[in-house]
Amino acid sequence: MTLLYSDLPPSLPSFAAIQANLFRDEVDAVSSLLPAARLSEQAEKAVHVRALSLAQGVRQAASKNHFEAFLQSYGLGSEEGLALMALAEALLRIPDTDCQDRLIRDLLENKDWRRSQAATWLVSAASRALLFTDGWIEASEGRHWFDRLLRKLGEPVLRTAMKTGMKLMAEHFVVGETIEQALDNADPRWRYSYDMLGEAALTEDDARGYFAAYHEAIAALGKRADAHTGFARQSISVKLSAIHPRYEFAKQNRVMRELYPRLLELAQAAAKADLVFSIDAEESERLEISLALYEKLVREPSLKDWRGMGLVVQAYQKRAPFVIDWLADLARDTGRVLPIRLVKGAYWDSEIKRAQQGGLPGYPVYTRKGHTDVAYMACARKMLDYGPGVFYPQFASHNAQTLAWIMELTRDSDRQFEIQRLHGMGEALHTLIHQREGVASRVYAPVGRFHALLPYLVRRLLENGANSSFVHQLADTRVPLEAIADNPAERIARNPITTGVIAPSEVFAPRRNSQGFAMTDTLALAPLRQQLAALENQRFHASPIVGGQRRTGTAQPRVSPIDSRREIGSLVASDASAVELALNLADAAQDAWAETAANQRAAMLEKAADLLEARQAEFLWLLSREAGKTLPDALGELREAVDFCRYYAHEARRLMGSAIALPGVTGEANELRLTGRGPFIAIAPWNFPLAIFLGQITAALAAGNTVIAKPSRRTPLIGMRAIEALLDAGIPADVLHYLPGESGGLSDKLLGDARVAGVAFTGSTGAAWKINRTLAARDSSIASLIAETGGLNAMIADSSAHVEQLILDVLMSAFNSAGQRCSALRILLVQDDIADAVIERVGKAMQELRLGDPLQLETDIGPTIDTLSQRDLQAYCDKLAQSAKLIGKTPLPQGLENGCFFAPQAFEVSLDALPTVETFGPVLHIARFKSDGLEDAVHRVNKLGFGLTMGVHTRLDSTVALVRRLAKVGNLYINRNQIGAVVGSQPFGGEGLSGTGFKAGGPHYLLRFAAERTVTVNTAAVGGNVKLMAGGEGEHA
């Protein structure tokens, strides 16, 4: 079986350039595009005059539009602007009035609404339905207006007013809630492209609902008379993530098998109705799979006579020029003219964030708006240069300068093209161009229920209203029109080209970020696939390493949790003599290691980090085959291990590089320094056999302690290679020792030895109690115990939570790594008002998860660690099913019987029946709470005694404030998943039954491994304070 992924169907040779330029150097890319984005000096002057005239006309028109006047008063980066956007995003979809009222109060009180244009827009929106006058918000009331208004109107009236205002805002951007409404509301001046927009499908039911809506829209459009012909006809745009719940590169086999027939059916319906059909562009990680689908559709024999098959290209992607070249080759190869919509792109912030989080080699998009503008113009020129027999260009833009440039470029040409805009945006600009230039304009028209479309609207508004965008600058009268009309290519050409965001590798500077790769980067995946395939036939061996020597003995076979018939290596367990020798050597080496300069110790750890990255394929294979990790989980763990090495190296230099001078009386010098405590025992778990294992070891080493490392008996092969990397990096052989094998007497002998100065432990609470008692029973120095134990981790969602985001985060938090994370979600507490919808969709979304071979990218969940764990989980769920309701269970495919696979399960329980002990696997408990029961819900979680992680999903600041105040947890995550703490950013560790602190990966962690020593010197001992007498510490009168 092919590892990782199956290759996409072969394409045209030019497809290789798309793959090769995912992370193209931005400076080189912009430099190469600049010539195409510049015209002659005379033409540039004409562009400037035209752009200036358009901008003047648009600015005049904006003053007559309440909403655009609001943008003029407030940038959407302002407190008030963001408050209204947050209100629009959430208010209409919140089902209960209590939460609606709290949202309104949270967002609107203590804001300054004295700027008249904002007040005009806000009041006019509500007063249109309630017949209020504009006088109910007085400028003189300032930030106290909300309380006055509430007393005057009461919450029910105010709530109705705000909901009416939000509906009017939605009407500004949604052409209709149904396709019939949209068609009735269409302005005959414009062409339209309708899109049944909403969030991406999470379940098969979601996908079928959107699929039906697209079918209905196509049928409705086909029934309406359309005087236009050719590419001027009515258009339908399709978002592929809406019609399949797993539209992902990793699921390409399933996508081709399931999504493509749906796409083909819609295209055939559009062809029959004589419509133009466009496939929307989405995140960059979906580009290659979208092009594969599009090529298959273009080559479809049943559609050979149809000329309406379109695609959207995002100019902010560095691959855009190469996509256009490939599309041109496809058009010529099939004899088609392709309608191509060129847009700038709508996912910029998430693209930047994902690249940084993933430690990617670069960004798939440009990091400066000006660079995107240049790319857009260069791509537009490329499309036009290919000629009318290749493309029908559709230029989507709200930028007067960009469109003026295109008008000038096409001034002496009879080339057919159109411009496009989003419904509710850019109407004045497009009206002027249509009137002056005679160019056709098409409106991209979202259709759908307001409450479902509002998140989409907010994203578009924030994108177009950002302070750097043309829309905001045009609305802001403080920005000179001359600046708006300037060609960005000319500005960029006058100065050195630089990026606008630091590279992903530098986000934690001065510490280097760990290297990752995109799970859609076929150029990176191809060599990795070959390396992993070669490792499939290799066997690894683990044995004690003491004093740098690998000890021999009887080797026992190691099998994989994926398949118990598969032997992946062998283990020689440690014996009593190895333990004694390791203790002797570690104790003897302690003083010399503690006296080794912190900078020198740090350099060794940094070299170890480099070696881990150089041995990436080997560690990924071991993490998969020995620990059952999927490739994304394995890569995440490897990167965390690398980050630990570099972070603790940095911390060693910061904390231990030099002594701290302390204040004191004259004639005296005081300093405090940190040093190692003595030999440490590092006892690691099997669920993070590389990251936690190395995290504990490297912290102890960085602080100047010798280390005896004890891996889990279940994952000794991974531990062996990790220790070898540290030794290869220069850690002295007598400083670091490796003792794999069964715990039992081995741990007792280590822990009972008086020479052991401390223990770093991650594992169960029960095991931590035993270690603590063993250490306390010694009649010797009091050892330091640093324990990170388990958790009954909860997530709380009130009725303002964004349900789709919540469900994605629940699935990831509860079931990633087969639920075998300390931080994994065990209890989901949902406000009763949204519980039915959440519970139903969680159960259905679980059906879309796939168990299987972890080295297949299409696998979401691998095995549990062993058969004992598998049996315990099954027994627990069998018992739980007697009193709780099973609401979801992931299918367990055939062929996994010889592995330790366990299908994720979710149960609904009552608040009085929450679990009291941790079940370490993919089992989720869901309970409801009343709208007034949030505080009680937090208290119930606290009473369980654990305190590791908690998640909160809400749009209410008051909910966040309450949970932050009450929750007794080490890590609180708000509106995101609750796993995957990042070293240095999210120090990890709990309280109560979940650990002792300090937090791993945090600025205080090394202190638990260090001893403090103070030195005081009487500098006047020889007969006086020379500095004082010389006037260095004051003047003697």
- Residue at a domain's end among 389, 415, 450: 450
* Annotation marks residue 900 as catalytic: no
Instruction: Please name the residues in contact with 538: beta carbons below 8 A apart, sequence gap of 6 or more.
Output: none
Q: What percent of the chain has pLDDT over 70?
A: 91
Q: Which two three-digit tokens encode residue 742?
A: 């069964």
How much is the pLDDT for 745? 72
Q: What is the mean pLDDT of residues 981-985?
A: 98
Q: What's the alpha-carbon Rg for the chain, to the nearest Å? A: 32
How much is the pLDDT for 748? 84
Q: What is the mean pLDDT of residues 147-157?
A: 68
Kindly report the backbone phi and psi dihedral angles of residue 423, in degrees, each rounded to the nearest multiple of 5, phi listed first. -55, 130
How much is the pLDDT for 339? 98
Which residue would you say has higher pLDDT here, 227 or 930? 930
Kindly report the backbone phi and psi dihedral angles of residue 540, in degrees, each rounded to the nearest multiple of 5, phi listed first. -105, 150
Share in percent of the chain as helix, strand, coil (round to 5): 50, 15, 35
Are 798 and 857 contained in the same domain? yes
- Residue at a domain's end among 749, 768, 789: 789
Residue 114 pLDDT greater than 80, yes or no: no
Are 688 and 829 contained in the same domain? no
The model's pLDDT over 199-221, given as tens digits with 9 standing for 90+, comes to: 899 999 999 999 999 999 999 99
Are 23 and 89 contained in the same domain? no
Are 205 and 346 contained in the same domain? yes
How much is the pLDDT for 140? 40
Residue 138 pLDDT greater than 50, yes or no: no
- Residue at a domain's end among 721, 756, 789: 789
Q: What is the mean pLDDT of residues 420-437?
A: 93
54 occurs within a structural domain: no
Which is nearest to 641 in space by CA: 711, 694, 591? 694
999 occurs within a structural domain: no
Environment class of 918 (CB within 10 Å of its CB; exposed 0-12, middle 13-18, buried 19+): buried
The model's pLDDT over 943-960, given as tens digits with 9 standing for 90+, comes to: 999 999 999 999 999 999
Q: Please count the CA atoms within 13 angstroms of the CA of 218 that sit on its side-chain side.
A: 24
How much is the pLDDT for 742? 86
Distances (CA, A) of 845 to 196, 251, 256, 632, 804: 21, 15, 20, 20, 10
Peptide bond into 929 cis (omega under 30): no
Q: What is the mean pLDDT of residues 284-312?
A: 97
pLDDT band at 135 (very low <50, low <70, confident <90, very high): very low
Q: Count the neighbouring beta carbons within 10 Å of the beta carbon of residue 962.
A: 18
Q: What is the mean pLDDT of residues 462-480?
A: 63
Are 624 and 746 contained in the same domain? yes
**Helix/strand/coil for 340:** strand
* Annotation marks residue 248 as catalytic: no
CATH of the domain at 642: 3.40.605.10
Is 291:22 a contact under the CB 8 Å cutoff? no
Mean pLDDT score across all residues of the chain: 92
Are 696 and 817 contained in the same domain? no
470 occurs within a structural domain: no
**Catalytic one among 199, 248, 788, 918?**
788
811 occurs within a structural domain: yes
Which is nearest to 520 in space by CA: 5, 14, 3? 5
987 occurs within a structural domain: yes
280 occurs within a structural domain: yes
The model's pLDDT over 687-736, given as tens digits with 9 standing for 90+, comes to: 999 999 999 999 999 999 999 999 999 999 999 999 999 999 999 999 99
Are 669 and 685 contained in the same domain? yes
Q: What is the mean pLDDT of residues 533-545?
A: 97
Are 205 and 154 contained in the same domain? no
Kindly report the backbone phi and psi dihedral angles of residue 227, in degrees, each rounded to the nearest multiple of 5, phi listed first. -75, -15
Which residue would you say has higher pLDDT here, 207 or 140? 207
CATH of the domain at 946: 3.40.309.10
Element (H, E) at 42: helix 41-62
Are 426 and 559 contained in the same domain? no
Which is nearest to 429 in space by CA: 443, 417, 416? 443
Are 937 and 830 contained in the same domain? yes
Residue 457 pLDDT greater than 90, yes or no: no
- Count up the domains in the chain and report the number: 4
526 occurs within a structural domain: no
b/e for 258-289, b at 16 or more Cβ within 10 A? bbbebbbebbbbbbebbbbbbbbbbbbbbbbb
CATH of the domain at 415: 3.20.20.220
Q: Which amino acid is at 801?
A: A
Residue 643 pLDDT greater than 80, yes or no: yes
**Catalytic one among 822, 848, 877, 900?**
822
How much is the pLDDT for 918? 95
Residue 1036 pLDDT greater than 70, yes or no: no
How much is the pLDDT for 127? 40
Low-confidence winner among 422-426, 446-450, 454-458, 634-638 (lowest mean pLDDT): 454-458
Are 150 and 297 contained in the same domain? no
Are 662 and 764 contained in the same domain? yes
Domain hosting 896: range is: 793-994
Q: Which two three-digit tokens encode residue 478?
A: 């403080």
The model's pLDDT over 13-25, given as tens digits with 9 standing for 90+, comes to: 999 999 999 999 9
Is 130:164 a contact under the CB 8 Å cutoff? yes
pLDDT band at 755 (very low <50, low <70, confident <90, very high): very high
Is 266:227 a contact under the CB 8 Å cutoff? no
How much is the pLDDT for 126? 44
Phi-psi region of 10 (alpha: psi -120 to 50; beta: other; left: phi over 0): beta
348 occurs within a structural domain: yes
Q: What is the mean pLDDT of residues 975-980?
A: 97
